[in-house]
A and B are shown apart, each in its own frame.
Chain A
């Protein structure tokens, strides 16, 4: 007969092998089990009986881990979206993905087949890439998540509206408003795709979509790097044997590959979850302190030298990038953090990062607004300024909430809640730029 400690040890090891159950939770359940065993033993049961009854009362480990998964989505976000029954029925996932990827690659080649005017084709790509490729991603996830068709109707309407706004306006070719529309339309469509990713329910688990976006981006960059090397070598080898295939590669293989890779990266995020899940938090942890040091040093330099931020022409975009990077780091660490733990050192570094970035941005903004008043509103400046204000609002309130969390006034979840409920603001801002900017600035 095994002694009690060994039995409890085995039970615990089995429990802890489930990714849904963190070590601290296993500790908590073990201390519960031991309390229960003690009570039962003092009521006259022997060790074995007490252990069996106590384990039975806790409930089956499967049921228990399911409950933990439901509560702690940060540990098991994939399982949350795809229920086990659905998972088991999806065998041909890879082939379905490949089908959509081929469709995406094929559809981006169509404009090149029908038009010989290279500039017109690039301008079409610029405005329509998102409209061509993202429906494939929507299709793949609609199938994977079994999204009811009626939930896809509003999504389809947004895509149709996007196509109208991107193509009906008489843009000056490669002008500011065309480029701005292109960029903002992709963001809008991506956020709309998010509701399909979440299985047609946009209100729940938005953080899962934020995680997906971050990991998809990492995979896409990796694929792009590898693909770039592959294409470069291909061109090089062929030119060594006297064949110039540069135009073929650049005009046909590159667009097709880039479109297909969108699907492949999404599939990789879903299929190889554990790999990047480890990489992304590590990257966040490495870069958060480094960026914090850089920002604090910059604030120090501004204060020490008394120099303001020197605003030449369109540096505003630099500060937008700065805030986007900060927001990305912040979202990633929020999504990976255990909301139950107390404020710790990484949270302090994070707050330092946000506050110092905000200080720099406000200094820059003050200087830039003055300059814009002098130089006038161009589409680019206005878009950059608007985005800056949207980001600033997001991050300032986030900093305020973190301070509340440090003072023990608020739970960490408020912070997560704020960021996820702010996402539609980006969608609205993007839609505004797509719809209104070209009209206001005369399609320049």
Chain B
């Protein structure tokens, strides 16, 4: 499924923060996780994740550190307290939006189809 560019842009921050709330991770693993969670439907241009991660680090939502537990040097990102609060905030917003859409679509289905 093709997802509109605006929606991808708007959802990328909460998606990345949510994935990091399960524990620290690095760019490639985050993308793999997005792929898994969306059953391969949500496709990001891989490189674009990094400027986003750097922005989150600048805002203090995540902390970055270099490590190489499996040999290859990777920059790991950890969610901070501030990031956790930001995630909560995002969640409330998305819950509301999705509740509104669900409600609206539910009514739509119960209406007679116009001919």
- By a beta-carbon cutoff of 8 Å, the part of chain A in contact with chain B is 24-25, 27-29, 31-32, 34-36, 57-59, 63-64, 67-68, 70-72, 339-340, 342, 408, 410-414
Give min CB distance, A18 to chain B, whole Å: 12
Give min CB distance, A50 to chain B, whole Å: 14
Tell whether, in the assembled complex, residue B27 and residue A32 are in contact, meaning their CB atoms are under 8 Å apart: yes
Q: Which of B56-64, B91-99, B107-115 contacts A (4 or more CB under 8 A)?
A: B56-64
A31 contact set on B, CB distance < 8 A: 26, 28, 72-75
A35 contact set on B, CB distance < 8 A: 28, 72
Interface residues on B, range: 20 to 34
B75 contact set on A, CB distance < 8 A: 24, 27-28, 31
Tell whether, in the assembled complex, residue B60 and residue A32 are in contact, meaning their CB atoms are under 8 Å apart: no
Tell whether, in the assembled complex, residue B54 and residue A71 are in contact, meaning their CB atoms are under 8 Å apart: yes
B10 contact set on A, CB distance < 8 A: none
Docked Cα-Cα span, A291 to B85, in Å, equals 40
Q: Is B48 an interface residue (CB 8 A)?
A: yes
Docked Cα-Cα span, A31 to B26, in Å, equals 10
B63 contact set on A, CB distance < 8 A: 408
Tell whether, in the assembled complex, residue B45 and residue A59 are in contact, meaning their CB atoms are under 8 Å apart: yes
Q: What are 26 A-to-B residue pairs whose CB atoms are below 8 Å?
A: A25-B50, A25-B54, A28-B27, A28-B50, A28-B74, A29-B50, A31-B28, A31-B72, A31-B73, A32-B50, A34-B72, A36-B28, A36-B46, A59-B45, A64-B48, A68-B51, A70-B51, A71-B51, A339-B57, A339-B58, A340-B58, A340-B64, A410-B60, A411-B58, A411-B59, A411-B82
Tell whether, in the assembled complex, residue A411 and residue B51 are in contact, meaning their CB atoms are under 8 Å apart: no
- By a beta-carbon cutoff of 8 Å, the part of chain B in contact with chain A is 26-28, 45-48, 50-52, 54-55, 57-60, 63-66, 72-75, 80, 82
Whose C-beta in chain A lies nearest to the C-beta of B64?
A340
Known: A36-B46, A411-B60. 8 other contacts (CB 8 A): A27-B75, A28-B27, A32-B27, A58-B45, A68-B51, A71-B55, A340-B54, A340-B57
Give min CB distance, A369 to chain B, whole Å: 37
Tell whether, in the assembled complex, residue B46 and residue A57 are in contact, meaning their CB atoms are under 8 Å apart: yes
Partner of B45, one of A28, A63, A411: A63
Docked Cα-Cα span, A25 to B53, in Å, equals 11
A411 contact set on B, CB distance < 8 A: 57-60, 80, 82
Docked Cα-Cα span, A132 to B115, in Å, equals 71
Docked Cα-Cα span, A397 to B92, in Å, equals 32
Give min CB distance, A442 to chain B, whole Å: 50
